[in-house]
């Protein structure tokens, strides 16, 4: 009887909830946090995921006209979030991805599903679930309706660069976050046929710029995150709505730069930044602005991505940076063992047996309106078992755009204001937020 009363009260409360969350704080868990791994192993696994993700990007940019379904990149990514879905509430753990839009979870009836840590969501058992009909505006997106409609339900096919796929139908549901915040009427995918990799999660939460992403379905449309270092045991955090504020970082200088959009709708998911140039040790590098510029045909540009570990720079710009690092360190680059070459990293210095690492020049990314400053440990990583200090910035020979990865975003509070089209950032101790 008590349970019945509880669910009745919950239902009444949900009826009066605003369909958009006013503010919420969620914990982010790194995909390798539960594994017993050394710091070096964590680094290598994350770097390999970066290259899987890079290959997915390469496929999208090289042949966009041949893609007939949603092609995103979340299978090989870095962070997952815990939340609840439905009424009664079912726990879910989903991959967080700023490079994709669709929110989806594995659903009953599971014709073909991946293993996950909690029961599969069953829409027939939730009194707050509603199917999205084919007449819905969300079904006007051709990439979500390539397999047509059935029973007046909007069907979708989502495929990801690592081979992960999900087939299902769209619905609306109530999402409940760990701090008790509820969002009613969220449009999401109910996947009944799924394969590939979900990093032991139940689905994917798209944080991109498309209409089906979580930020696009919130009011106000803003969010922020603060990522703890890779080897930290503390959780990272995602802030939605009114809780997304940098005001608590007292004494630190907040930088802001415009978020720009691709001229091609096909690439509208991504958060582009205007990277104008790079300095090292006070020396502005002779990199033409056009190297990082977003072109009129949609090529080039620089995106910020939470799901890519390494920073991937247009090769022309990276080659100049690499040469300058070697020049200012005044030490020859080390011969790379195969385990490092496999990560795509091509610049390391040997400090095997050294009692301490030497200081290195400050690296600065010059964005339109703001500079991001990085000390040595934000662009170099030490592999103690190899005695190598290696760059976490690599070149991209096979495509022209650049990706600002999450290693350099660690211990930085980053705010996406999608109404003002501005990205703001400030150095922070993310484990203390």
Give the list of residues 6+ apart from residue 373 with CB closer than 8 angstroms, or none.
Answer: 362, 363, 364
Per the structure block, which two tokens stand in for 194? 């799924």
Give the 3-state secondary structure of residue 422: strand
* DSSP characters over 278-314: EEETTEEP---GGGTPBPTTS-B-EEE-TT--SEEEE
Active-site hit among 305, 342, 346, 377:
305
Give Cβ neighbours of residue 272 (< 8 Å, ≥ 6 apart).
259, 260, 261, 262, 294, 301, 302, 303
Q: Please spell the DSSP secondary structure of 134-187, one letter per residue.
A: TTSGGGG-GGG-TT-EETTEEEEEEEETTS-EEEEEEEEEEEEETTS-EEEEEE
Which one is catalytic: 72, 82, 97, 411? 97
Q: Before 392, cis peptide (omega within 30)?
A: no
192 vs 181: CA distance, rounded Å: 27
Could you give the CA distance from residue 302 to residue 42 in angstroms, rounded to a whole number?
26
Does residue 97 carry a catalytic annotation? yes
Rounded Cα distance between 26 and 49, Å, is 24
Strand partners, 346: none
Rounded to whole angstroms, the Cα distance separating 101 from 98 reads: 8
Whether 296 contacts 263, CB under 8 Å: yes
Annotated catalytic residues are: 97, 305
């Amino acid at each position: 009887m008590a349970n019945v009363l509880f669910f009745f009260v919950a239902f009444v409360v949900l009826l009066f909830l605003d369909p958009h969350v006013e503010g919420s704080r969620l914990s982010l868990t790194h995909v390798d946090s539960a594994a017993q791994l050394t710091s070096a192993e964590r680094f290598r696994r994350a770097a390999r995921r970066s290259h899987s993700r890079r290959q997915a990007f390469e496929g999208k940019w090289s042949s966009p006209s041949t893609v007939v379904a949603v092609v995103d990149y979340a299978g090989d990514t870095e962070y997952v979030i815990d939340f609840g879905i439905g009424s009664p509430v079912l726990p879910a753990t989903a991959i967080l991805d700023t490079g994709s839009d669709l929110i989806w979870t594995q659903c009953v009836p599971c014709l073909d599903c991946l293993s996950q840590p909690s029961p599969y969501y069953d829409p027939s058992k939730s009194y707050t679930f509603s199917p999205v009909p084919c007449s819905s505006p969300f079904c006007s997106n051709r990439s979500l309706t390539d397999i047509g409609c059935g029973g007046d339900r909007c069907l979708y096919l989502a495929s990801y660069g690592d081979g992960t796929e999900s087939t299902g139908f769209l619905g609306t549901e109530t999402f409940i976050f760990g701090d008790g915040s509820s969002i009613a009427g969220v449009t999401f995918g109910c996947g009944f046929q799924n394969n590939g990799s979900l990093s032991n999660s139940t689905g994917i939460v798209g944080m991109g710029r498309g209409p089906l992403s979580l930020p696009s379905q919130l009011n106000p449309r803003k969010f922020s995150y603060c990522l703890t270092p890779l080897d930290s045991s503390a959780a990272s955090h995602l802030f939605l709505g009114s809780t997304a504020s940098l005001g608590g970082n007292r004494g630190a200088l907040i930088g802001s730069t415009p978020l720009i959009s691709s001229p091609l709708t096909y690439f509208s998911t991504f958060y582009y930044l205007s990277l104008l140039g790079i300095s090292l040790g006070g020396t502005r590098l002779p990199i033409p602005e056009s190297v990082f510029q977003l072109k009129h045909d949609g090529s080039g540009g620089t995106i910020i991505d939470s799901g890519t570990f390494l920073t991937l720079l247009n090769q022309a710009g990276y080659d100049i940076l690499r040469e300058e690092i070697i020049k200012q360190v005044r030490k020859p680059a080390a011969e790379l063992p195969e385990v490092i070459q496999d990560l795509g990293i091509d610049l390391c210095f040997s400090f095997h047996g050294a009692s301490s690492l030497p200081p290195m020049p400050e690296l600065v990314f010059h964005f339109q309106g703001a500079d991001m400053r990085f000390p040595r440990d934000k662009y170099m990583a030490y592999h103690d078992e190899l005695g190598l200090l290696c760059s976490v910035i690599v070149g991209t020979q096979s495509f022209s755009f650049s990706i600002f990865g999450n290693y350099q975003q660690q211990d930085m509070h980053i705010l996406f204001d999608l109404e003002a089209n501005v990205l703001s950032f400030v150095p922070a101790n993310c484990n203390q937020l």
